[in-house]
Amino acid sequence: MLTATYVLLTLSIEQKKERHFISRLLQYVQSIARRPQEIDPVFIESQLKQLTSFAEARHQRKVEACLMPAVHAAEPNCTPLINDLESLSQRGSAMLNAVYRCLRRAMRRSASQGKFLCKTVDLYCQNLLKRLDKEEQELLPLAQKVISSEEWFEIGSKFLEQDGDDAASRPELRPRQGAMGQGAVPAL
């Protein structure tokens, strides 16, 4: 059960980070939507890239590739829940494509395009929040009930492997080499 706790804690921490990204972006677009001439599409683009690289990658690799198949294998009657989550993911991908199209148009500094961009970003973020809520309220509790200890161990191993791959590919997570020699102090 320790592995199940690790997996659930990992997902919970990542969901909190994702909610923070979403909250920050929503706060910006909701406040600036009233002043479309002041919209900074470059800032929105950088925030979107941060959010999507974290949120979408985490979701695809951990929830869709590891957790959902294990839950579905253990509980075949959860097909409607899995379908709902997949639908939210597909809708989110389509919305994200629309956001990037709006972003390109807003780069031309059109006020009407800026308002539309803010609305599209808002809809995308709301979809992400809905997906997170469904995961937290339905998928994770179901997973706790139906996944065996052996399956939790396999999922936990995949998570550790993915986290190790992430740390190796991100310079800010790699150990620093410094005056103290071969220290493993991560750069924060």
Model confidence at 6, pLDDT cuts 50, 70, 90, reads: confident
SS3 109: coil
Model confidence at 137, pLDDT cuts 50, 70, 90, reads: very high
Mean pLDDT (whole number) for 35-57? 82
The 10s digit of each residue's pLDDT in 140-167 is 999 999 999 889 999 988 888 876 666 5
Residue 188 or 125, more confident: 125
109: alpha, beta or left? (left if phi > 0; alpha if psi -120 to 50) = left
Asked if 131 and 92 count as a contact pair (C-beta separation under 8 A), the reply is yes
SS3 175: strand
Residue 184 or 130, more confident: 130
pTM: 0.79
C-alpha torsion 169→171→172→175, nearest 10: 90
Domain ranges of the chain: 2-157
Position 185 pLDDT exceeds 50: no
Mean pLDDT (whole number) for 47-53? 86
Q: What is the pLDDT of residue 34?
A: 82
Alpha helices in the chain (DSSP H): 2-32, 41-58, 68-74, 79-106, 111-134, 140-146, 149-169
Mean pLDDT (whole number) for 26-37? 85
CA neighbor of 42 nearest in space, from 94, 129, 132, 108:
108
The 10s digit of each residue's pLDDT in 59-109 is 777 888 889 999 999 999 999 999 999 999 999 989 999 998 888 887 776
Position 2 pLDDT exceeds 50: yes
Q: Which amino acid, residue 181?
A: G
Q: What is the pLDDT of residue 183?
A: 37
User: 2-157 is classed in which CATH architecture?
Assistant: Up-down Bundle (1.20)
SS3 39: coil
